[in-house]
């Protein structure tokens, strides 16, 4: 099948490109503006790379028409940057998505997968967070991802585009850049520990997050590509298990075999206390089951092994 991956050189997109290119019957096209700068990603042989902007109508119309499945991962992903420059965030995340959807309604595609974010939920009103949880974003980034979802579902209702929206929680992988403002707490802790520095925790460390390894994210996305039950639906992607930040730091220290201790600093303004996913819907509908224990994923990140190990234990 012919697959277009927007942002296919980014964190999620690069792993998708790698995985889907393994099937020789697939023709993979990547549309990317080359802003991710992932140094250890070698583009698989046969993958078509197009340098361009998702907001360009001509480029979007041509590439969407040539492909059956559109996986839209391209986005401005920094919460901080979205606060500093909300117009730029909206131009990329809202107008870019709308441009692709508009191209899709003129084409005969079999699936449009929109990679959203758990940031659409905002502060949890109850736990675990299911797909029916109220959406109240706390940043322009969260709002722009939610708006993209709304447009995608509107185009599904109006034009019959076979849309699926996915809301990943805290994705981590060996390809996250610790020096990037987009990186999560895991890569920041790993950078500290590798440099023999104590990880810095903001607050008391009792905050919880749902850390999901990239291998499980790719598996979840793959399950939505051809399953008709997924069309017109929104799914969380996570593990369904909360991890406290102080436990995360202790685990990273342990697997790195370093004699370090966590340091604590005042809480960040607006930091959410507890958050983790309810994955009942995607499990029952699509048979998704996360395979990577957090310790397994952390070992992969610490050793900088990007290859997915199929032998990991189930969680």
- CATH class, 2-170+211-237 region: alpha beta
CA–CA distance, 121 with 123 (Å, rounded to integer): 6
The pair of structure tokens assigned to 109 is 């595609």
Residues 6+ apart with CB under 8 A from 107: 64, 65
Residues of the chain with pLDDT under 70: 178-183, 270, 304-315
Q: Which residues are catalytic?
A: 141
Q: Look at residues 74, 44, 82, 78 and name the one whose alpha carbon lies nearest to residue 56.
A: 74
**Spans of all domains in the chain:** 2-170+211-237, 176-209+242-302
Please name the helix (run of DSSP H) or strand (run of DSSP E) that holds residue 234, with its range, or none: strand 233-237
Q: Look at residues 237, 240, 211 and name the one whose alpha carbon lies nearest to residue 222.
A: 237
Q: Which residue has the tokens 């075999």?
A: 257
Please name the CATH architecture into which domain 176-209+242-302 falls: Alpha-Beta Complex (3.90)
Please give the model's pTM, rounded to 2 decimal places. Answer: 0.93
The pair of structure tokens assigned to 280 is 């009942």
What is the residue-wise DSSP string for 255-313? HHT-----EEEPPPTT--SB--B--HHHHHHH-------HHHHHHHHHTT--S--TTPP
Angle, CA of 206, 209 and 210, to the nearest 5°: 145
State residue 42's pLDDT score: 92
State residue 180's pLDDT score: 57
What is the residue-wise DSSP string for 166-219? EEE-EEE-TT--TTSTT--HHHHHHHHHHTT-PPEEESSS--EE-EEEHHHHHH
State residue 182's pLDDT score: 52
Q: Look at residues 7, 3, 30, 187 and name the one whose alpha carbon lies nearest to residue 92.
A: 7
Q: Look at residues 54, 60, 70, 94 and name the one whose alpha carbon lies nearest to residue 20.
A: 70
State residue 179's pLDDT score: 56
């Amino acid at each position: 099948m012919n697959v277009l991956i927007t942002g296919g050189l980014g964190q999620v997109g690069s792993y998708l490109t790698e995985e889907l290119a393994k099937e020789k019957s697939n023709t993979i096209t990547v549309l990317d503006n080359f802003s991710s700068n992932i140094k250890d990603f070698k583009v698989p042989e046969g993958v078509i790379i197009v340098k361009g902007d998702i907001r360009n109508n001509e480029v979007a119309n041509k590439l969407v028409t040539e492909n059956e499945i559109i996986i839209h991962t391209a986005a401005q992903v920094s919460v901080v940057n979205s606060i500093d420059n909300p117009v730029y965030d909206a131009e990329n995340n809202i107008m870019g998505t709308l441009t692709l959807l508009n191209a899709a309604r003129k084409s005969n595609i079999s699936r449009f997968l929109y990679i959203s974010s758990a940031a659409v939920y905002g502060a949890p009103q109850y736990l675990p967070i299911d797909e029916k949880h109220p959406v109240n974003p706390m940043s322009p980034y969260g709002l722009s991802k939610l708006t993209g979802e709304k447009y995608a579902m509107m185009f599904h209702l109006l034009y019959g585009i076979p849309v699926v929206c996915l809301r990943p929680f805290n994705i981590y992988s060996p390809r996250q850049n610790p020096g990037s403002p987009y990186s999560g707490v895991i890569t920041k802790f790993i950078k500290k520990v590798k440099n023999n520095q104590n990880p810095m925790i903001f607050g008391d460390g009792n905050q919880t997050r749902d850390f999901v390894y990239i291998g499980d994210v790719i598996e979840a996305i793959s399950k939505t590509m051809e399953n008709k039950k997924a069309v017109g639906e929104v799914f969380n992607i996570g593990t369904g298990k909360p991890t406290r930040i102080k436990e995360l730091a202790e685990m990273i220290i342990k697997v790195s075999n370093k004699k370090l201790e966590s340091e604590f600093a005042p809480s960040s303004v607006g930091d959410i206390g507890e958050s983790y996913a309810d994955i009942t819907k995607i499990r029952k509908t699509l048979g998704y089951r996360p395979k990577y224990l957090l310790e397994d994923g952390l070992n992969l990140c610490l050793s900088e092994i990007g290859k997915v190990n199929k032998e990991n234990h189930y969680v």
